[in-house]
Amino acid sequence: MTLEERLIKADKLLSEIEHTYNLRWWNYATLGTSLETADLNEEKRKIYFDDSLFEALKEESRKEGNYEAKSRKAKLYLHQFYINRVELDNNLLKLKNEIIEDELSSVSTIAGKEYSIKDLIAITQNSLDSYMHNEARKRLEELNERKEEKFIEIIRLRNESSRKLGFKSYIDIYFYGLEPNICECIDFVKKTIIYYAEEAEEWENWLKSSTNSDEVDKALRKIQEELRVYYNVLTPEETFINILKVWGLEKLLTRIHIFTYKDSPNKKHWWTFCQPINIPDDIRISINELNPVEFVETFYHELGHAIHCASIEKNEWIFKKEDLFTEIPVSFMANICSKDEWIEMFLKIKDTSIKEKIKRVSISRDPVAILSRCLDFLLIVKLYEEEKNPNKIFGNLYKRIFGYRKQGCSSSKKWNFEILFAEEPFYGLFHLIGEIVGEKILDFLLKNYGNIFCKNVGEIIQNKLFSPGNSVSWTERVNSISPTMWEFHPN
């Protein structure tokens, strides 16, 4: 059997495994069913621990003269082999399961009422009650401290497996074949810190002076509460349908299915999220409205995933399985909510001062959130390099990035929970890159077409960004819109 024939067989099996997992995960998140993965992991092992296929892929990736698509396919598969040979380690799986079970079973009591970890996070993000906000933050910090050693052990196990595969650390495996590489990402983050530090200080001062508040989080929630009246009249699902029609992408409406917590008999929805069940035909979005101002932007963020997945016109599993630069189209969609055209069309606001306030509290344009993503990324890089307790490293990085603050963190630090729960150590980095590059794409289209709500824009994002899937790198896709679009710097 040739390598191509073996890959066709592997592609079919991996597609079936992923479909089964996606459906189980959806039921787990929305219905509260158990998430069984042991049988799927065994099926994946049959593919990823096939040494002869592994060696054949390594040889294929080294061959000169291969046409680009063939070489790209081999490298994409090889990346999956490396990652899965690390992540399917039995000791690592056991440890991750212990942490997840602990997260799910953890209950904290505040004022006589019990709260899950997801409840606590929702309180820190949305509650205007200072007592509840501070108590929830304390409980999250206590839960994270309890698990610190386990998190460090996960890093150690990943590094150990990576070294056995010939890499210096897990970072090198994670970024294998990605553009930009790890060194370019570190450089990008350092430039971003310099670029946004002054803006972040000015933004925090504006929040506090606008609300006569000494606390940034409290000030932000106050402004969002002021804006609630404009968002309460909005039906986000209808705006989405209207935008797809304007873009000429109505066919996607049969592929994207939106569910609310009301559709679930036991209300197990945790958050607003997108779950592809079967790309491109069955893409699902779960909606859980908390703070309507943040919700709309979060909903559009998930719509970016949905539109992207529903647009992929590739049959092979490996080309449907995007890398984390998929946060680019996601941020493109989220950033639409802070543009004048969207605010005027859907919120019916003409008042310049209100429009400016909406833009300034936009999640995707929050300079403090951008700096926090930078901090998370540099922290994780250090942790994988040094395998040490994060507290001292975090403290030093925090002073370096948020040195303008007179006090400590203004919000609960959840880096370890988010990293492990999503199982994506560099999740924040790709959001950061997505937000900045997505904004560049949006500004370019506005400048060249004068309006983002037209069929020309729909054709460009569909044909150039989404439909190629991972058969073309994100660098090439972004540059296909404009040759200088992918300039890897923050401004």
CATH number of the domain to which 293 belongs: 1.10.1370.30
Which of residues 69, 88, 107 is at a domain's end? 88
Whether the predicted pLDDT of 69 surpasses 70: no
Contact 189, 374 (CB under 8 A): yes
- Looking up tokens 């996960």 gives 154
Residue 332: pLDDT band (50, 70, 90) is confident
Residue 413: pLDDT band (50, 70, 90) is very low
If one compares 272 and 45, the residue with the highest pLDDT of the two is 45
Residue 137: pLDDT band (50, 70, 90) is confident
Q: Are residues 116 and 35 in the same domain?
A: no
Contact 241, 346 (CB under 8 A): no
Directed axis angle between helix 390-401 and helix 367-386, to 10°?
140
The arithmetic mean of pLDDT across residues 199-211, rounded, is 91
If one compares 85 and 392, the residue with the highest pLDDT of the two is 85
Residue 175: pLDDT band (50, 70, 90) is very high
Whether the predicted pLDDT of 417 surpasses 50: no
Which of residues 141, 168, 195 is at a domain's end? 168
The arithmetic mean of pLDDT across residues 285-299, rounded, is 78
244 part of a folded domain: yes
Whether the predicted pLDDT of 22 surpasses 60: yes
Coil vs helix vs strand at 177: coil
124 part of a folded domain: yes
Whether the predicted pLDDT of 38 surpasses 80: yes
The pLDDT assigned to 481 comes to 87
Coil vs helix vs strand at 70: helix
Q: Are residues 188 and 276 in the same domain?
A: yes
Percentage of the chain beyond pLDDT 70 is: 89
CA–CA separation, 4 vs 69, rounded Å? 13
What pTM value is reported for the model?
Answer: 0.88
How would you classify the pairing of strands 256-260 and 273-278?
unpaired
249 part of a folded domain: yes
488 part of a folded domain: no
CA–CA separation, 491 vs 483, rounded Å? 17
Longest CA pairwise span in the chain (Å): 72
Whether the predicted pLDDT of 406 surpasses 70: no
Residue 77 CB coordination number (10 Å): 26
Contact 413, 144 (CB under 8 A): yes
CA–CA separation, 373 vs 485, rounded Å? 22
Q: Are residues 159 and 221 in the same domain?
A: no
Q: Are residues 130 and 68 in the same domain?
A: no
Contact 402, 376 (CB under 8 A): no
150 part of a folded domain: yes
The number of domains in the chain is: 3
Whether the predicted pLDDT of 386 surpasses 80: yes
Q: Are residues 252 and 209 in the same domain?
A: yes
Q: What is the pLDDT of residues 225-261, one digit of tens each?
A: 889 888 888 888 889 899 999 999 999 999 999 987 6
The arithmetic mean of pLDDT across residues 360-374, rounded, is 86
Q: Are residues 98 and 80 in the same domain?
A: no
Q: What is the pLDDT of residues 424-443, one digit of tens each?
A: 788 888 888 888 888 889 98
The pLDDT assigned to 177 comes to 84
DSSP secondary structure letter of residue 273 = E
175 part of a folded domain: no
Q: Are residues 147 and 64 in the same domain?
A: no
What integer best gives the mean pLDDT of the chain? 85
Q: Are residues 440 and 314 in the same domain?
A: yes
Q: Are residues 305 and 270 in the same domain?
A: yes
DSSP secondary structure letter of residue 362 = -
490 part of a folded domain: no
Domain encompassing residue 291:
182-481
Q: Which of 119-123, 272-276, 479-483 has the lowest mean pLDDT?
A: 119-123
Residue 330: pLDDT band (50, 70, 90) is confident
Whether the predicted pLDDT of 267 surpasses 60: no
The pLDDT assigned to 460 comes to 92
The pLDDT assigned to 232 comes to 84
Whether the predicted pLDDT of 388 surpasses 80: no
The arithmetic mean of pLDDT across residues 140-161, rounded, is 84
Tokens of 407: 């006090």
Q: Are residues 341 and 411 in the same domain?
A: yes
Q: Are residues 42 and 104 in the same domain?
A: no
The pLDDT assigned to 416 comes to 45
Which of residues 53, 70, 88 is at a domain's end? 88
359 part of a folded domain: yes
CA–CA separation, 24 vs 199, rounded Å? 43
If one compares 374 and 292, the residue with the highest pLDDT of the two is 374
Whether the predicted pLDDT of 50 surpasses 60: yes
CA–CA separation, 430 vs 376, rounded Å? 11
Q: Are residues 121 and 263 in the same domain?
A: no
